[in-house]
Each structure stands twice: as C-alpha cells, then as structure tokens.
Amino acid sequence: MKLSDGFDARRLRPRGPGSWRWRFAAALSALFAGFGILLAMAGTATLLGRPPALGPLNESTGAAIVLLVVGLLFLWLGVIAWRVCRRRSRRRSDLSLSPQLMKKRD
C-alpha cells in the first residue's frame, strides 16, 4: 500500500479533552500509598520495640497491629487506585480496545 507524503494519521481522530482528572486522582492515590507505607512502618517499628514519636497513638501492641493493618490497607488501596487511574488516563475514548490488548507495561 502506498502512502502519500502528506498523510498524517493523527488528523483522523480529533484529540479529546485533557486527562487532568485522572492525573490528579493518580497523584492522590500515590499519596494514599505513601501514607500507608508510613503507617505500616510506624506499626512495625512499635512491634519491634522502637516506637516512633506518634505519642499515645501506638503505645500498646494492639494499637501497633492496628496501625500495621491500616497502613497495609492504605498501601493496597492506593496502589490499586493508582493502577486504575493510570489505565484510564492512557485509554483513549475513541478506540474500544480490550484491556488485554494494551501493552504489558501499563
């Protein structure tokens, strides 16, 4: 098939609006994941015998376990939300491709 020199495939589909909402949501979910890491580290430090300076928040073993579980939950939810936002921001609304056909790095 012969392509002419003036052919530009990007002109066939108009660009949609920017995906700043998905970028903002991805940044917010990355902050949740970072907060989860910090909480999990604080709970682990208390369980290992070196309580951080959180005051009466984690003086007991039960509170340290709660901090660890809540931190891991925040981390898990933040990573899942970040991956969803990243996929949605990269997906174009013009083409209906299945998620399995997207590249593996997404």
pLDDT at 88: 81
Mean pLDDT of 10-19: 64
Structural contact between residues 82 and 33, judged by C-beta atoms closer than 8 angstroms:
yes
What is the span of the domain harbouring residue 28? 20-90
Residue percentage of the chain with pLDDT more than 90: 31
pLDDT at 89: 79
pLDDT at 62: 85
Question: Is residue 60 situated within a structural domain?
Answer: yes
Question: Is residue 61 situated within a structural domain?
Answer: yes
Number of folded domains that form the chain:
1
Question: Is residue 13 situated within a structural domain?
Answer: no
Question: Is residue 30 situated within a structural domain?
Answer: yes
Question: Is residue 9 situated within a structural domain?
Answer: no
- Average per-residue pLDDT for the chain: 78
Question: Is residue 65 situated within a structural domain?
Answer: yes
Mean pLDDT of 5-18: 64
Nearest CA to 16 among 83, 86, 100, 89?
89
Question: Is residue 53 situated within a structural domain?
Answer: yes
Q: How far apart are CA 57 and CA 39, in angstroms?
A: 11
Beta-carbon count within 10 A of 8 CB: 6
pLDDT at 48: 85
Question: Is residue 104 situated within a structural domain?
Answer: no
Q: How far apart are CA 50 and CA 3, in angstroms?
A: 68
Q: For the ranges 7-11, 53-57, 65-69, 102-106, which has the lowest average pLDDT?
A: 102-106
Q: How far apart are CA 42 and CA 51, in angstroms?
A: 7
pTM score of the predicted model? 0.66
The pLDDT confidence band at residue 15, using thresholds 50, 70 and 90, is low
Look at residue 93 and give its three-state secondary structure. Answer: coil
Q: How far apart are CA 94 and CA 106, in angstroms?
A: 18
